[in-house]
């Protein structure tokens, strides 16, 4: 195991930030830690990194107890913090070299790794730029370069794509996949479910300091009763017709707001063809049709009763 967390409890006065939190991360996986703001993701990671004290529990990294002076363990960890953590007075090259140099003492190797990290995040054209001259997306890339330059075996990314443009976001996500392919184990926290779905091989969903679900995205979606969601643009559906749609086998709910008809199906049931047949039979005019499979947000909604982005 790369990370093992057992029964971790962290309190801020009366507030329980982590409530018997358990986590295990296996070598080679990209684990997504998903949860709304304030669910305890960052607190959990800071405890794992020995930055925060905790009330009880056990943390092991690379099968060894984690502690502030566990330098052998720290040497193999790379962290990309939620906020950009670089020096404004140092250039892209100097920042990357400085943080890499806290792990690597050999000068030749340090130079090589710095070059590779800057190349990896696509900042070659900006190597002599100061952070103030970089856009938000480029700054995030620099933040990543500073965290991964020393080639860590475990990379922890805490919401690295907050306030990032789509191009940089794709660059970052692709980069994380590449790092994983090159052998790094990745722990990725986010409240953007699309990102987690896109890159993570396993997902842990957190709420109020506890793990409420754990598995691959398919496993998580299979935990809930909801299936396909069909949305149809239509302006002339009567209450009687809405009632008729509800009688189609496998349909669990139908709603209509005067413009859009939303039909939800039970799990593993595809109703698109039956619904379209019904519309044609009843001569209901319709426009665009969307069909969506359940998302992690639906999983979170069903498990907690609240939206993931609340």
Partner 1 sequence: MFVHIFTTRLKCLLRDRGTIFWTMMFPIVLALLFNATLRNIDARAEGFQPVSIAVINDAAYAEDTPFQKALEAASTGDDRIFSLTLVTREEAESLLEAGTVSGYYAAGDPISVTAGSSGFEASLMKTFADSYTQTRYAANDILEKDPRSYEKLAAAVSEQTDYLRDAAVSDAEPDSSYSYFYSLLAMACLYAGFWGLREVEDIQADLSDRAARVNIAPVKKGKAFFSSMAASFVISMSEILLLFAFLRFALAIDFGVRTGLVLLTTLVGCLIGLSGGAFIGAVVKGSENLKTGVMLGLTMTGCVFAGMMYQEIKMLIEKNAPFVKWINPVNLLSDAYYSIYYLPTLERFWLDIAVLGAFIAVFRAGTYFTVRRRRYANL
Site for partner 1 in 43-72 (CB under 8 A): 46, 49-53, 68-69, 71-72
Q: 1, 16, 90, 224: which one contacts partner 1 (CB under 8 A)?
A: 90
The stretch among 23-31, 86-94, 114-122, 177-185 that binds partner 1 (CB under 8 A) is 86-94
Minimum separation from the CB atom of position 94 to partner 1 (A):
7
The stretch among 84-92, 120-128, 198-206, 301-309 that binds partner 1 (CB under 8 A) is 84-92
Minimum separation from the CB atom of position 186 to partner 1 (A):
16
Does 109 bind partner 1 (CB under 8 A)? Our answer is no
Nearer to partner 1, 78 or 294 (CB): 78
Beta partners for 292?
Answer: 229
Minimum separation from the CB atom of position 83 to partner 1 (A):
5
Quick one: 248 exposed, middle or buried, by C-beta within 10 A (0-12, 13-18, 19+)?
Answer: middle
Q: Which two tokens stand for residue 220?
A: 């998580």
CB-CB contact of 62 with 70 (8 Å): no
Adjacency order of strands within the sheet including 64-65? 15-25, 3-12, 56-61, 64-65
Alpha-carbon gap, residue 265 to 120, rounded angstroms:
44
Nearer to partner 1, 72 or 273 (CB): 72
- What is the CB neighbour count within 10 angstroms for residue 215? 15
Does 75 bind partner 1 (CB under 8 A)? Our answer is yes
| H or E segment and range at residue 98 | helix 92-101
Alpha-carbon gap, residue 154 to 148, rounded angstroms:
9
Binding site for partner 1 (CB under 8 A): 12, 46, 49-53, 68-69, 71-72, 74-75, 77, 79, 81-87, 89-90, 94, 97-99, 101-103, 105, 146-147
């Amino acid at each position: 195991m790369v990370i093992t967390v057992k029964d971790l409890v962290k309190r801020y006065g009366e507030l329980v930030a982590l409530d018997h939190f358990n986590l295990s991360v296996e070598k080679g996986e990209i684990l997504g830690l998903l949860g709304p703001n304030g669910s305890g993701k960052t607190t959990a990671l800071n405890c794992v990194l020995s930055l925060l004290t905790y009330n009880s529990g056990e943390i092991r990294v690379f099968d060894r107890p984690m502690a502030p002076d566990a330098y052998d363990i720290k040497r193999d960890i790379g962290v990309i913090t939620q906020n950009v953590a670089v020096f404004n007075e140092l250039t892209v090259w100097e920042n990357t070299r400085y943080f890499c140099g806290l792990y690597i003492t050999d000068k030749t190797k340090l130079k090589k790794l710095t070059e590779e990290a800057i190349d990896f995040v696509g900042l070659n054209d900006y190597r002599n730029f100061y952070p103030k001259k970089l856009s938000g997306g480029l700054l995030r890339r620099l933040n990543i370069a500073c965290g991964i330059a020393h080639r860590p075996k475990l990379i922890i990314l805490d919401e690295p794509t907050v306030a990032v443009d789509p191009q940089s976001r794709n660059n970052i996500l692709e980069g994380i996949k590449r790092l994983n392919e090159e052998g790094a184990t990745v722990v990725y926290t986010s409240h953007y479910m699309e990102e987690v779905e896109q890159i993570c091989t396993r997902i842990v969903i957190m709420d109020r300091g506890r793990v409420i679900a754990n598995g691959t995205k398919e496993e998580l979606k299979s935990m809930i009763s909801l299936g396909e969601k069909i949305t149809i643009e239509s302006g002339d559906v009567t209450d009687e017709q809405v009632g008729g749609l509800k009688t189609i086998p496998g349909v669990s709910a139908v709603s209509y707001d005067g413009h859009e008809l939303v039909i939800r199906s039970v799990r593993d049931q595809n109703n698109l063809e039956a619904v379209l047949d019904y519309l044609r039979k009843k001569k209901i005019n319709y426009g665009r049709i969307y069909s969506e499979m359940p998302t992690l947000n639906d999983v979170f909604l069903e498990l907690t009763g609240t939206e993931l982005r609340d």
